[in-house]
Amino acid sequence: MSETTGAKPANRYYASEETLVDYAMVKAHLAVSVIFLLVAILAGFLYSLQFTNSYPFKGISWLSPGRVRMLHTNAIAYAWLVMAFFGLLHYMLPKLTGQRVLSPVISRFVLWAWVAIVAGTVVGILGGTAQALEWGETPAWLDPIIVVVYLIMAANFIAPVIKSRQKHLYVSTWYIVAALVWTGLNYVMGNFMVEYVAPGTGGAALTSMFIHNLVGLFVTPIGIASMYYLLPLVLNKPIYSHSLSLIGFWGLAFFYPLNSTHHYIFSPIPMWAQYAGIVASVGVHVVVYTVVYNFWMTMRGENAQLGRNIPYGWIMAGTFFYLVTCIQCAFHVTLTFQEIIHFTDWVVAHAHMVLFGTFTFWSIAWVYYLIPKVWHRRLYSRTLAQWHFWLSFLGLLLMFVSLTAAGLVQGYMWKSMAPFIDSVRASVPFWLTRTLTGTAIVIAQLLFLYNLYRTFKGPEVLTDEVHIPLDCSEPANWQPVITGPAAAARPVPAV
């Protein structure tokens, strides 16, 4: 493996003076994140049993379905995805900038501090001290601690960008830096302004911004940044268009912060704000189509990779789900659709497609990609990996179809003024399908965990490292670079 020399000398956190990446932190974050993923999926599965009248913890207040649901949603966002993203940033940013993160000590502090925050959130939610703010249910006493830890983490990751002094930055760096800044502002707005400064309908509007921007200004930019980095490596070819990638970035920055009030259509929030949310939501499609088109054109002619390249399948499926969920969004932000789907399971289907179908699929692609690169192991079983993919893919797809159909049935029955209990009875088959498809997803993640366990128990093997070139002084250099013997075996195509 070869890397450009960082400014700092070697120490016990790095293998040599030339090593840029703190590989121990990449491994630790991703290992913890996979455990969090399993906890989050199991909590969601448990919650689904409530709808089939088979919930196993009836009468136990701290395991009541409402609290388990909050555990499910918070574990996906703050435990699984945040921890995975922290691990990926430890890998990507040093290679993108040619500089190490600010301090390996800070990296270790943030890792354990975030694990403690997740544990405190679990105790707080199950103990009944959650706040009444969706995705902001963390106990109030944890909010200042989260802000402090987040600021320390952001400084650790932004430092290499500042130190690099590169004339041009690859688009992944743009997305990452913006996400780190936006998320700090968004978290403070959602968890302090609403509670202490802006109550009432104004607070409701800010709440909608907090919820939506958590996805749109943190999960989305980090997820897209990671794919702009990983896709060229997996296919050993440059991204199709850097111009399109920057159009998508600025589209996200301009439209996404304004579209959140589409969650509160027909609410007491002023109609001008609701109309603005609808217009901005349509504008976000500039982002979606540039990203998806850019990915698909990069994938063009690479169908043969599907059978032999495990990360590529997850990337392609995640990109497909990203397009589907955003097309769905274009419809359900309109007043016409909101008359039907508001408060129904349509919204639940949408949320699962976004956070599991897109960003979880992309993050899993990273884990499979890094097994030989970071852990220096051969995957224990490709068959188990294929079962993991197909059970996850088909399970989510059928769950999405079932919940979307349930939402339409519920919405039309409510609009026709049918008794509410009739809509509940009509929803039972769809909810049963949700639990069955959820079972497939749970089994898939257990196979994933077992495959990883057997892989890490296996012997180490030497592999070639592949990375984005550290010389980002000119856009022409932004193409994958293979080091080691594989470089001669498979030349990198020209930009």
* pLDDT tier for residue 486 given thresholds of 50, 70 and 90: very low
Residue 165, pLDDT score:
77
**What is the distance between the terminal CA atoms of the chain, rounded to a whole angstrom?**
23
Residue 494, pLDDT score:
30
pLDDT, average across residues 76-87: 96
pLDDT, average across residues 277-281: 86
pLDDT digits (tens, 9 = 90+) for 169-190: 899 999 999 999 999 999 998 8
Q: Are 313 and 382 in contact (CB under 8 A)?
A: no
pLDDT, average across residues 420-425: 96
pLDDT at 491 > cutoff 50: no
Which one, of 320, 473, 441, 490, lies nearest residue 48 by Cα? 441
pLDDT digits (tens, 9 = 90+) for 435-449: 999 999 999 999 999
- Which range, of 284-298, 359-373, 449-463, averages the lowest pLDDT? 449-463
Residue 492, pLDDT score:
38
| 318 Cβ contact partners less than 8 Å away, ≥ 6 residues apart | 227, 357, 358, 359, 360, 361, 362, 365
Six token digits for residue 247: 């159009």
- Phi, psi (degrees; rounded to nearest 5) at 481: -125, 125
- Phi, psi (degrees; rounded to nearest 5) at 198: -130, 75
pLDDT at 359 > cutoff 50: yes
pLDDT digits (tens, 9 = 90+) for 447-479: 999 999 999 988 877 555 544 444 454 555 555
* Buried residues in 333-351 as b, exposed as e (16+ CB within 10 A): beeebbebbbebbbbbbbe
* pLDDT tier for residue 493 given thresholds of 50, 70 and 90: very low
pLDDT digits (tens, 9 = 90+) for 48-57: 999 999 999 9
Which amino acid is it at 77? Answer: A
d(CA 137, CA 365): 30
- Residue tagged 């009944």 (tokens): 128
pLDDT, average across residues 274-279: 86
d(CA 442, CA 37): 10
Residue 197, pLDDT score:
79
- How much is the mean pLDDT over the chain? 87
Residue 3, pLDDT score:
55
Cα dihedral 91, 92, 96, 98, rounded to 10, equals -10
- Which range, of 33-42, 183-192, 378-387, 419-428, averages the lowest pLDDT? 183-192
DSSP output for 214-269: HIIIIIHHHHHHHHHHHHHHHHTS--S-HHHHHHHHHHHHHHGGG-GGGGGTTSSS
Residue 120, pLDDT score:
96
- Which range, of 13-22, 354-363, 476-485, averages the lowest pLDDT? 476-485
Six token digits for residue 14: 């790095």
| 478 Cβ contact partners less than 8 Å away, ≥ 6 residues apart | 170, 238, 239, 242, 468, 469, 472, 495
Q: Where are the alpha helices (DSSP H) in 300-381?
A: 310-332, 335-341, 345-352, 361-374
| 167 Cβ contact partners less than 8 Å away, ≥ 6 residues apart | 473, 474
Residue 471, pLDDT score:
46
d(CA 485, CA 463): 10
* pLDDT tier for residue 134 given thresholds of 50, 70 and 90: confident
Residue 313, pLDDT score:
95
**Helix (H/G/I), strand (E/B), else coil: 7:** coil
Residue 463, pLDDT score:
56
Six token digits for residue 149: 């830890």
* pLDDT tier for residue 2 given thresholds of 50, 70 and 90: very low
| 228 Cβ contact partners less than 8 Å away, ≥ 6 residues apart | 170, 171, 172, 175, 239, 245
pLDDT, average across residues 285-304: 90
Higher-pLDDT residue of 283, 106: 106
Six token digits for residue 489: 């075996």
- Which range, of 273-287, 321-335, 416-430, averages the lowest pLDDT? 273-287
Residue 478, pLDDT score:
55
- Cα angle 470-472-477, degrees, rounded to a multiple of 5: 95
Which amino acid is it at 127? Answer: G
d(CA 235, CA 237): 5
